[in-house]
Homo-oligomer: A and B are copies of this chain.
């Protein structure tokens, strides 16, 4: 009565053929005669055989797995992106492994352990990983960088035009009539933060508006730093009338704190965010922001990686997805109302 896991050789025995034939019947049916195929199918059904993936993987020298390296899995920003990645990978028969590169006690050189026996491909969402652990190397699986990137690492990038997004935001505020525009950037180490700050400066310049370093407050993308930003803003005697925040989280923190201190948004200060994360159209006032196509970013990253794994030919070095300004109610003409 005890059960045991059937092996390919059990199927072969019952079907009266060799294991080679069973293997072919299952993975390359064209190579096998119709009649043998039928016999094998019957034997498979009878035994309830299922393939042992470890054995196949060893023989074929691949894992059918792709690792996504995510900085802080707890950040809901990544959920939709990972869903896009998952959809494409599943379709192609690959498994999605997720590694949180920012968990407590995570080895900073985690990427070093990701060789070809662990994954067939890597999607790197963390721009702060040491580049020497990811350098092209025959031992290392192909990789793409998505959202963030590592400056001195040559690999396909899937990203949005962060600079253009920032410029859209600033241009929007300028068009509303704001001449005093401040910026709450992300952490200086982060490439996205730098790109968005650069875009902010460029558009201010293009609009002929002042670029004042005291209006560039310290920020780190977090809700809390948004709150601190609001306090800093309040503390100034010579305040900007509009703030462009490099993340929606900060924008929410900023608005919440400003309101708590008795300021009205957008009457006293206009706020624009970045990302269009869930629910920001439900805060009051609904947040004007720059939308990132998160699902598409995930899809595109997976697709580029698949083509990279398939032929290793020259892949598109950069995929830049469009951003979009979404105007809601946190931005208005200065002094309005």
**A residues bordering B, Cβ < 8 Å?**
3-5, 48, 50-55, 57-58, 61, 63, 65, 72-76, 78-80, 82-83, 86-87, 90-91, 95-100, 103-106, 113, 115-118, 137-139, 223, 252-253, 255-256, 259, 277-284, 295
Name the B residues within 8 Å of A279 (CB-CB): 252, 277-280, 283
Chain B: CB-nearest residue to A280: B279
A-B contact pairs, 23 of them (CB 8 A): A3-B139, A4-B138, A50-B113, A51-B117, A52-B117, A54-B57, A54-B58, A54-B117, A73-B86, A74-B295, A75-B79, A76-B76, A86-B99, A86-B103, A90-B99, A90-B100, A90-B103, A90-B106, A91-B105, A95-B97, A255-B282, A256-B282, A283-B283
Give the top 6 A-B pairs by smallest Cβ distance, nearest first. A284-B284, A76-B76, A74-B83, A73-B83, A54-B58, A52-B117
| Copies per complex of this chain | 2
Name the B residues within 8 Å of A5 (CB-CB): 115-116, 138-139
Name the B residues within 8 Å of A96 (CB-CB): 97-99
A133–chain B nearest beta-carbon distance, Å: 13
Identify which of B74, B103, B106, B138 contacts A79 (C-beta below 8 A).
B74
Identify which of B53, B86, B100, B115 contacts A83 (C-beta below 8 A).
B100
Name the B residues within 8 Å of A259 (CB-CB): 284
A99, B66: Cα distance in complex, Å: 12
Beyond known contacts A96-B99, A279-B279: 13 more, CB 8 A cutoff: A53-B117, A54-B57, A54-B61, A54-B63, A57-B57, A73-B83, A76-B80, A78-B79, A79-B79, A86-B99, A87-B104, A96-B97, A283-B283
Name the B residues within 8 Å of A255 (CB-CB): 282
A62–chain B nearest beta-carbon distance, Å: 8
Q: Given A79-B79, A279-B280, are A100 and B86 neighbors across the interface (CB < 8 Å)?
A: yes
Identify which of B87, B91, B105, B282 contacts A252 (C-beta below 8 A).
B282
A116, B54: Cα distance in complex, Å: 10
A139, B58: Cα distance in complex, Å: 20
Whether the pair A65, B97 counts as a contact (CB closer than 8 A) is yes
Name the B residues within 8 Å of A223 (CB-CB): 282
A216, B87: Cα distance in complex, Å: 35
Chain B: CB-nearest residue to A4: B138
A260, B187: Cα distance in complex, Å: 37
Whether the pair A103, B87 counts as a contact (CB closer than 8 A) is yes
A129–chain B nearest beta-carbon distance, Å: 16
A137, B48: Cα distance in complex, Å: 13
A96, B119: Cα distance in complex, Å: 13
Chain B: CB-nearest residue to A84: B74
A251, B138: Cα distance in complex, Å: 52
A9, B82: Cα distance in complex, Å: 39
